[in-house]
Chains A and B, each alone.
Chain A
Amino acid sequence: MSQVSPMSSTSPIGISARPGRRDIGLGRRYAAERRFRFYGMAAIGFGLLFLFLLLFSVVSKGYTAFQQSMITIPVAFSEQVIDKDNERAANPQKLVSANYPVVARNALAKVLGVDEKDRAGLKAVNGLISDSVRTQLRDLVVADPSIIGTTRDVTFLASGDLDSAFKGQINLDVPEKDRKISDRQVGWMNQLAESGALSKHFNTGLFVNGASSRPEAAGVGVALVGSLYMMLIVLALSLPIGVAASIYLEEFAPKNRLTDLIEVNINNLAAVPSIVYGLLGLAVFVNFAGFPRSAALVGGLVLTLMTLPTIIIATRAALKAVPPSIRAAALGLGASKMQTVFHHVLPLAMPGILTGTIIGLAHALGETAPLLLIGMVAFVADVPATPLDPATALPVQIYMWANEAERAFVERTSGAIIVLLLFLILMNVGAILLRRRFERRW
């Protein structure tokens, strides 16, 4: 453009006097171009913004779940309360059914200086203690009955409401009758916190405990074990079957109607809504084959069927990426077709296959809908010993907690989501590292 007309540049009148360049709408067109670019950037920004919002929302709500408020006070294992008539020698059941919450309540009341006659006060004190103290103290006493009559320091869980208040999640400006913790209880809370009796500990219960209707005692332990069983089943079944199927389709299958049908089928199966697999599992595995409901085995089988197409597609891509010269060389040296594939092609494709498998597994780990249908929405308090026992899975546990109303469960849910996301990140990073480390460019 600079050399459009050497004549005009010598003209003393200059540019302004020219009749003007023909307006070909360049300004308008460049503006449109800038607008268009801006839309593109805005779209990417929008997506990323919501990614961060989502993660921020989950993390900010959930990081507190990894800490739990505990009360440590001297507890007097009073014979009066536990075994008034001293009949534990004759009737061991007495120790199991004793009223342990009262033991804890009395201990706390003593620390707080609440009078024994103050019924409302005692009730409020009770509201600070988690119900799980019953089993905790019972286990202590049953294990060693000689502690009856003595006083020990015991650390037990604070109630969900106290926990929420102590973490500052309950708005104390709200009128007293509208919140779950009274002014008096808040006063006690501050008193306990100052004396060091109430403090926050790392929440191991979150990873160990099973389902509980009390948020402070609920954990994802059962769900983790259930998910682990399912992942093992999925890995053990879908990897060999998926690899075998892909080898057949990629290396051996003749081009005919049947192969075409299988191909179309696999592509479609990859896009079938996951809930349909749940219906399949319910009808075939539970109803027809008679496997137990809520079992990790059924969940694993359903997730296997769901993951297979993903693994097959990834494996076929990995096999395709091995250059034909490798095959030609092996065949030329006298290897049979089968030897070529298993001795040369498959080892070279393995990194790609494993990457695909890990990504498929990560997908299966986060899947919820099919598991709801085969009855894994169950209240399971005990860790399942075998894959045939009732179990839940991590995402299903999240779903169940998400439906609970209490504030403390929102925190637990977010905490469980963080655990789930951490596992997914771990798996995906593993897949990426695997790919970086072993990927070969031919």
Chain B
Amino acid sequence: MSVSLLLLVVAGIGVMGYLAGSWRAGALAGGKASSLHSRPGYYGAFVAVWSVLPAVLVLLVWIVASPIYIGSTVRDGFPEEVKAEPQATQNLDYNMIGAISRGLSLLSAEERTALFADGSAARTVLAAKGVPLAADPAPYMLTSADTLNRMTVASGLLRSALVVLVALAGAFFSYRMIAPKFRARNRVEGVMLAGLLAASSIAILTTIGIVASMLTEAIHFFNRVPAWEFFFGTVWDPRFAAAGAAASAGQFGLVPLLAGTLYIGFVAMLVAVPVGLFAAVYMSEYASRTLRSVAKPLLEVLAGIPTIVYGFFAMVTVGPFLRDISAQLNGLATGNYASFIQAQSVLTAGFVMGIMLIPYVSSLSDDIITAVPRALRDGSLGLGATRSETIKRVILPAALPGIVGALLMTASRAIGETMIVVLAAGVAARMQLNPFEPMTTVTVKIVNQLTGDLEFTSPQTLVAFALGITLFVITLCLNIYALYIVRKYREQYE
């Protein structure tokens, strides 16, 4: 039985259990529902839970454990000289055996006997069945593949039998436990609570997954490239992963990427912070209700537009526009119509990213400004200050920590932004201060290193994980600090 069919059977047993359990509870009550501890549905649910949950757990364990067990048994059957080979070669052999076993299961009985009598034809026979092999298999491989096949089939049968048995046993015992005094609801609710807890622990699992997966890959990287060369290297030149792997010694310097990231982020903040702050102040202090109800959602549309659209906008509209206008300006000034702004540049990427960040700054600061107590405003206005003076001298200082927190969160977004810089910032990793020239960022290089064919063994690929964990740590620190500030500030006025 396939896994999905098995699950269906288990679900069927569960439904039957539910019906049987509710019916039995009803029968025990004998028409007097108040003599039961719980409503009949809960007894049914109790039986259903006991038939499904243990069976599914057994199935999961089996799915994970059986390939490992079968694999080790098959490897134990290898001839001694094969066992002496390095682990990597053995893995290749094992993969080939897997392919052969897949091919074997497609053969008819006669073809099988013919193949076992004469193993040399294996490659052509299997290729005819649509299973290509990399090389002619060694004789032991056929027997190993046969063992693998037989064990897989046996494991499948055993699995089905065991799972169905567990489901039935669970249903039977829980059915037997039903009695009027039995606290079925509490049991079922206990299981539900465990389920809710499990769901909320996924958040933690995700974080652990991010950190663990990136750390392991990054450690593989640092085994080949010293950490100090990565963190303090000023040249980014990874070269290509050569087939031999060992010969390709690239240089993986983080500094130029980080410089580009921070520079572009700085330009973006230069656009987003004043515009966003003024917009937030105007929205919360001056705007009429109608203007606010129109302009605020419209500005927030900017946050809902996918970043790839911004990237495209930067690439085909803003970049060429800046290039052409710089050529015109240059022509007016010097008579030489050469553009000094390149289409892909720090300015293009930073400016468009800044537009994207406006709504983040404005809505976060709007919340914070609105949270400043009314009394502070009234006090200041009552003493004769104009509105702008109230804002500048009372509200903004009072809201400052919160706004700083909001800006830090925005900055972390700018640092982690990918698509705009991929399309508009360029790929040249260099360190310079001219905003009209292209620079590149950490995120661009992660994308560059990981698109295309990959081998998980070359430093060219693994460096992406080192870059990723750097990015993760930076944004995490910014966010935790920002959250801390915002939280502390909120408590101040509550």
Contact = CB atoms under 8 A, between A and B. Distances in A.
User: Is A bound to B?
Assistant: yes
A381 interface: no
Nearest to A245: B200
Nearest to A273: B416
B26 to A, nearest CB: 20
Contacts of A40: 278-279, 281-282, 286
A288 B217 CA distance: 11
B386 A368 contact: no
B213 A280 contact: yes
A245 B196 contact: yes
A268 B207 contact: yes
B112 interface: no
Contacts of A420: 306, 309
B306 A272 contact: no
A43 B275 contact: yes
Interface in A35-53: 35-37, 39-44, 46-48, 50-51, 53
B144 interface: no
A276 interface: yes
A273 B470 CA distance: 12
B210 A272 contact: yes
B343 to A, nearest CB: 13
A43 B278 contact: yes
A54 B416 contact: no
A421 B305 contact: yes
Interface of A is mostly: helix
Contacts of B313: 54, 57-58
Interface stretch (A5-13, A25-33, A325-333): A25-33
B308 A368 contact: yes
B388 A33 contact: yes
B195 interface: yes
A362 B304 contact: yes
Contacts of A375: 451
Nearest to B359: A47
A373 B443 CA distance: 11
Contacts of A48: 295, 298-299
Contact of A252 (B196, B203, B305, B415): B196
Contact of B200 (A240, A248, A287): A248
A395 B206 contact: no
Interface string B467-494: 0100110011001100100000000000
Nearest to A305: B206
Interface in B293-335: 295, 298-299, 301-302, 304-313, 315-317
B279 A372 contact: no
B468 A51 contact: no
A316 B37 CA distance: 32
A210 to B, nearest CB: 19
Interface string B250-281: 00000000000000000000000011111101
Given A44-B279, A279-B446, A29 B389 contact: yes
B65 interface: no
Q: Which of B206, B209, B479 has the most CB of A within 10 A?
A: B206
Nearest to A362: B304
B312 A417 contact: yes
A271 interface: yes
Contacts of B417: 273
A276 B415 contact: no
Interface residues of B, number: 85
Interface string A378-398: 000000000000000001001
A395 B423 CA distance: 13
Contacts of B386: 29-30, 32-33
B419 interface: yes
Contacts of A141: none
A288 to B, nearest CB: 7
B304 to A, nearest CB: 6
A284 B450 CA distance: 15
B468 A276 contact: yes
B203 A276 contact: no
Contacts of B281: 40
A278 B210 CA distance: 10
A308 interface: yes
B207 A43 contact: no
B117 interface: no
Q: Which of A42, A277, A398, A402 has the most CB of B within 10 A?
A: A402
Interface in B433-469: 443, 446-447, 450-451, 456, 464-465, 468
A266 B304 CA distance: 21
A413 B312 contact: yes
A193 interface: no
A308 B202 contact: yes
Contacts of A366: 305-309
Contacts of B201: 262
Contact of A244 (B195, B316, B476): B195
A276 B412 CA distance: 13
A44 to B, nearest CB: 5
A35 B391 CA distance: 13
B199 interface: yes
A398 B312 contact: yes
B355 interface: yes
A222 interface: no
A248 B311 CA distance: 39
Interface in A121-136: none
Interface string B38-70: 000000000000000000000000000000000
A54 B203 contact: no
Contacts of A277: 210
Contacts of A249: 200
Interface stretch (B4-12, B185-193, B239-247): B185-193
Interface string A57-77: 110010000000000000000
Interface string B409-420: 100110111110
A430 B391 CA distance: 37
A44 B213 contact: no
B197 interface: yes
Nearest to B297: A432
B109 interface: no
Interface string B206-219: 11011001101100
A273 B443 contact: yes
Given A252-B193, A268-B480, A43 B274 contact: yes
A284 B412 contact: no
Contacts of B200: 244-246, 248-249, 253, 262
A158 B351 CA distance: 39
16 contacts: A36-B392, A37-B282, A43-B276, A47-B358, A54-B305, A58-B313, A248-B196, A249-B200, A269-B207, A271-B412, A273-B412, A273-B413, A280-B213, A366-B308, A372-B451, A398-B312
Ranked 7 nearest A-B pairs via Cβ: A273-B416, A40-B282, A366-B306, A244-B199, A43-B278, A283-B213, A36-B388
Given A275-B418, A280-B214, A402-B315, 11 more contacts: A39-B278, A46-B275, A47-B275, A47-B299, A47-B358, A57-B317, A245-B202, A268-B476, A273-B416, A279-B446, A398-B312
